[in-house]
Amino acid sequence: MTALIEAAQAPDYPADIQLVISNRPEALGLHKADALGVKAICIDHRDYKKRSEFEAELDAALRAHGIDFIACAGFMRVLGENFVQAWSGKIINIHPSLLPKYKGLHTHTRAIEAGDEKHGCTVHWVNEGVDEGKIIAQSELDILPDDTPDDLAKRVQALEHTLYPEALKAAVTNA
């Protein structure tokens, strides 16, 4: 998220980050966004009995703030079919694996345990499946013999900070 906000501060960047939404009130991203001059709000999913109610509130907040494109960054909720369809072609996500490998969680551990030589990150369009949307861009690195999941996560996160701003630029330019 911070990398996207910082990239968008360049005068020639084709996206303007206007709002950060978290579903967790304790999310550090809310404070980071605020410090970088971006409005940040929390819509706590635990305040809603149904996913559809939470997503209706999320959709309403996005529309009320004039948002027309979503770049998910650390938003750890699976979005439902109705929400995804309403934002089809206007929502992307970054995932810490070389999709289609290792959809979901614990990607670094899974890559190490599988004996993979390469790992990385993927920016993809969000669709109704979990981490199944069309790939926009990927970046990879070598898994080192002594890598722990934490070591690998830190190195992949560095890739994400470069890849995601470039992929968002490509997505909004071609959307």
Using DSSP's 3-state secondary structure scheme, residue 51 falls into helix
Give how far the C-alpha of residue 71 lies from the chain's centroid of Cα atoms, to the nearest Å.
Answer: 6
Residue of 31, 95, 106, 124 with catalytic role:
95
Catalytic status, residue 95 = yes
Q: What is the 3-state secondary structure (H, E, C) of 136-161?
A: EEEEEEECCCCCCHHHHHHHHHHHHH
Please answer whether residues 1 and 15 qualify as being in contact, where contact means their C-beta atoms are separated by less than 8 angstroms.
no
Cα(69)–Cα(1) distance, integer angstroms = 14
Please answer whether residues 79 and 136 qualify as being in contact, where contact means their C-beta atoms are separated by less than 8 angstroms.
no
Active site (catalytic) residues = 95
